[in-house]
Amino acid sequence: MSVLAIRQVTRTFGGLTALDGVSFDVHEGEIFSVIGPNGAGKSTLFNIVSGFDRPTGGSVAYQGRDITGVRPHALVRAGIARTFQNTQLFEELTVLDNVLVGMFPVTRAGMVSAALRLPHALREQRLATEEAQRLLRMVGLEEFASTPAADLPHGLRRLLEIARALATRPRVMLLDEPAAGLDSAETRELASLLYRVRDSGATIVVVEHDMGLVMEVSDSIVVLDRGRKIAEGPPMLIQKDPAVIEAYLGEEASDDD
Ligand SMILES: Nc1ncnc2c1ncn2[C@@H]1O[C@H](COP(=O)(O)OP(=O)(O)OP(=O)(O)O)[C@@H](O)[C@H]1O
Ligand SMILES: [Mg+2]
| Domain residue ranges in the chain | 2-254
Contact 219, 9 (CB under 8 A): no
Ligand 1 binding site (Cβ under 6 Å of any ligand atom) = 13, 16, 18, 36, 38-44, 85
Confidence of residue 101 (pLDDT cuts 50, 70, 90): confident
Distance 39 CA to ligand 2 centre (A): 7
**Is the pLDDT confidence value at 145 over 80?**
yes
Least confident of 48-62, 73-87, 213-227: 73-87
Question: Which residues are near ligand 2, the ion (C-beta closer than 5 Å)?
Answer: 42-43, 85
Report how far residue 139's alpha carbon sits from residue 156's, in angstroms, rounded to the nearest whole number. 9
Contact partners, residue 249, CB within 8 Å, separation at least 6: none
Please tell me the CATH code under which domain 2-254 is placed.
Answer: 3.40.50.300
Report how far residue 257's alpha carbon sits from residue 236's, in angstroms, rounded to the nearest whole number. 29
**Ligand 1 atom 26, closest CA:** 38
Looking at residue 111, what is its pLDDT?
A: 54
Distance 118 CA to ligand 2 centre (A): 44
Contact 35, 221 (CB under 8 A): yes
Report how far residue 162's alpha carbon sits from residue 193's, in angstroms, rounded to the nearest whole number. 10
**Ligand 1 atom 7, closest CA:** 13
**Is the pLDDT confidence value at 114 over 90?**
no
> Which of these, 48, 10, 37, 8, lies nearest to 205 by C-alpha position?
48
Report how far residue 81's alpha carbon sits from residue 204's, in angstroms, rounded to the nearest whole number. 10
Contact 62, 172 (CB under 8 A): yes
Contact partners, residue 89, CB within 8 Å, separation at least 6: 98, 149, 150, 152, 157, 160, 161, 164
Confidence of residue 29 (pLDDT cuts 50, 70, 90): very high
Beta 65-66 vs 16-27: how paired, if at all?
Answer: unpaired
Report how far residue 103's alpha carbon sits from residue 169's, in angstroms, rounded to the nearest whole number. 8
User: What does the DSSP 8-state code read for residue 183?
Assistant: -
> Which of these, 102, 101, 81, 93, lies nearest to 144 by C-alpha position?
93
State which ligand 1 atom lies nearest to the alpha carbon of 46. Answer: 18
Pocket test for ligand 1, best of 13, 47, 175, 224 (most atoms within 8 A of CB): 13
3-state DSSP call for residue 47?
helix
Alpha-carbon separation of residue 216 from 100, 184, 246 (angstroms): 32, 14, 21
**Ligand 1 atom 12, closest CA:** 18
Q: Tell me the average pLDDT across 199-219.
A: 96
Q: Tell me the average pLDDT across 189-199.
A: 95
**Ligand 1 atom 16, closest CA:** 41
